[in-house]
Amino acid sequence: MNYQAVIFDLDGVICFTDRYHYQAWKSMADSMGIYFDETINNRLRGVSRAESLEIILERCDKVLSAEEKQALMEQKNSTYVELLGQMTKKDLSAEVKETLDALRAKGLKLAIGSSSKNAKLILERLGLKDYFDAVSDGTNITKSKPDPEVFVKAAEFLHMAPADCLVVEDARAGVDAAKAGGFDSAGLGEAAAYEAVTYAMSSFGDLKGIV
Ligand code: BG6
Ligand code: MG
């Protein structure tokens, strides 16, 4: 075995919440008369809620106070959480579930390393509430990806050294975070095309040939 543990990003790797993030930010931006589209949304992948708002506000002429920004983040999050209510176990693909089970059967420890403060709610919606050996998420970090904190914490929760863990990511910021923390990474989507990634994957099941 090349690794003893695998740390998975959540949004864009285990599940596809991107469209909900997009709809929720779009509704907030529309309410403020701020232009927002899918291309701008792509820049929000792996980025914290507060940093995402700053990216959206690049198109806003008004200077907003910290309280106004907080209110906008709460507005976006309440729309997002409402949309997450639509998620069910059916949103967990058979390929992802079968691969996770195969890695577990090999004896690997499995963890989540996500910037999201909604990670535990999403895992519950997917029927994965108690599945992972550790969950490191937006509620236990002070610095977001590309800072390695979320993955370093996940490895600590597992009592593993970074060199023994593989990080799975769909965002460049996540690949950078893995590298900065001393982790190898496996990339999907835009992360697969990123030169800093250790292994490029075309689908989730490719993991079985890497670990
Ligand atoms: C990441 C997403 O997983 O979590 C980002 O890729 C999102 O788009 C970030 O902004 C924070 O999520 P949340 O749920 O705490 O607003
Ligand atoms: Mg992601």
DSSP 3-state percent helix, strand, coil across the chain (nearest 5):
50, 10, 40
Report residue 125 as tokens. 């919606």
Residues bordering ligand 2, an ion, CB closer than 5 Å: 9, 11-12, 46, 170-171
Percent of the chain with pLDDT over 70: 100
pLDDT above 90: residue 45: no
Ligand nearest to the CA of 81: 1
Q: Which residues are marked as active site?
A: 9, 11
Find out whether the beta carbon of 21 lies less than 6 Å from any atom of ligand 1. Answer: yes
Tell which atom from ligand 1 comes closest to the C-alpha of 73: 16
Q: Which residue has the higher pLDDT, 1 or 189?
A: 189
DSSP one-letter code for 7: E
Find out whether the beta carbon of 48 lies less than 6 Å from any atom of ligand 1. Answer: yes
Give counts: helices (H), strands (E), the chain: 8, 6
Report residue 129 as tokens. 């509430």
CA of residue 6 to ligand 2 center, whole Å: 15
Average pLDDT over residues 198-209: 98
* Predicted confidence (pLDDT) per residue in 24-40, tens digit: 999 999 999 999 999 99
How far apart (Å, rounded) are the C-alpha atoms in residues 94 and 114?
A: 21
* Predicted confidence (pLDDT) per residue in 117-176, tens digit: 999 999 999 999 999 999 999 999 999 999 999 999 999 999 999 999 999 999 999 999
